[in-house]
Amino acid sequence: MELDTAAMFSAAESILAQAGELAVTFAFNFVGAIIIIVVGYTVAGLLERWTRTGLRRFPAFDETLQRFLSKLVRYTILVLVAVTVLAQFGVQTASIIAALGAAGLAIGLALQGTLQNIAAGIMLLVLKPFKVGEYIDAGGIAGTVEEIGLFATELKSADGVFVLSPNSELWNRAVTNYSRNATRRNDIAIRIGYGDDIDLAQSIMLKLAMADERALSLPAPETFVWELSESAIIVTLRYWTTTSDFWQTRFDLTRAVTQALEQSGITIALPQRVVHFIPGQGENGVPEQAG
């Protein structure tokens, strides 16, 4: 009986000793995990701010791209911190990393279109084929750029309609940017009659362009006969202007040229066709039979 009691006390002491060791080990692991979390969280925040500050020095990086890359750095550090904390408690992190990799692959396949838009958005923000405020046309997707996001780009069409286009659609098409260059060329084609004075028409058109301050002197405005059509001579006025003045200058000069030519007696020819009727012939030129 005494032996059984002694054995029980010995087992209890052993259990208490092991429990104490486990408690001490857990306490150290817990404190270490807390320290890792605090340090990791602080480092993640610092690296996020440093990344954004560093990227701001490069004009090529858009504000949206700066936020995305800085957040990516932050969450990458936090994931490493989480794995380190689990390893601190003896968890096999290799299997966790493998599971995270498999989950990431599955999510990537499920969100293939979304990730494609993100990749396209990053390329648009880096290469900048267009910026906010510019008017573009990408295979029929046309409008003034309102916002460039990581997933889609917002545009406003010429008639004020809201357009939301996935970034992959814009990236995979040729983009025509009407606002990027500082100057643009414009051609105003006027149809005059074959009996009108071509030199006078060209002189009037050229004087009006040179008198308009919005028409640039270099390259200088010029006029030329573009085409001899079936019913008119097409005389063209070519000039360059700033992109911001392009449309208003075109409207004003077209109106001024038309009025000046008409006041000078030059005909603004309309498309027409002359039909010659020969009496005594029926359809297809076959002579009609006398009745």
d(CA 137, CA 174): 8
Q: Tell me the per-residue pLDDT of 43-62, one tens digit each, with 9 for 90 and over.
A: 888 887 887 777 777 665 66
Residue pair 196/186 in contact (Cβ under 8 Å)? The answer is no
Quick one: tokens of 169? 């659609």
d(CA 258, CA 269): 11
**pLDDT level of residue 17 (50, 70, 90 thresholds):** low
> Does residue 265 register a pLDDT over 70?
yes
**pLDDT level of residue 9 (50, 70, 90 thresholds):** low
Domains and CATH numbers, the chain: 15-110 (1.10.287.1260), 129-177 (2.30.30.60), 183-263 (3.30.70.100)
Q: Tell me the per-residue pLDDT of 114-134, one tens digit each, with 9 for 90 and over.
A: 788 888 888 888 888 998 899
Residue pair 243/179 in contact (Cβ under 8 Å)? The answer is yes
d(CA 87, CA 81): 10
pLDDT for position 47: 82
> At residue 260, what are phi and psi to the nearest 5 degrees?
-65, -40
Nearest to 194, CA basis, from 160, 168, 165, 228: 228
Q: Summarize the confidence of residues 218-233 as an average pLDDT.
A: 92
Lowest mean pLDDT among 15-24, 70-79, 183-192, 228-237: 15-24
> Does residue 287 register a pLDDT over 60?
no
Helix (H) or strand (E) holding 27: helix 2-55
d(CA 74, CA 13): 48
pLDDT for position 291: 44
**What spatial distance separates the first Cα and last Cα of the chain, rounded to whole Å?**
152
69 or 228, which is more confident: 228
Quick one: tokens of 208? 């009006």
d(CA 255, CA 156): 28
Nearest to 209, CA basis, from 234, 186, 182: 186
Highest mean pLDDT among 204-213, 227-236, 272-281 belongs to 204-213
Burial of 121 (0-12, 13-18, 19+ CB in 10 A): buried
Q: Tell me the per-residue pLDDT of 230-261, one tens digit each, with 9 for 90 and over.
A: 889 999 999 999 999 999 999 999 999 999 99
pLDDT for position 45: 83
Residue pair 78/40 in contact (Cβ under 8 Å)? The answer is yes
pLDDT for position 66: 72
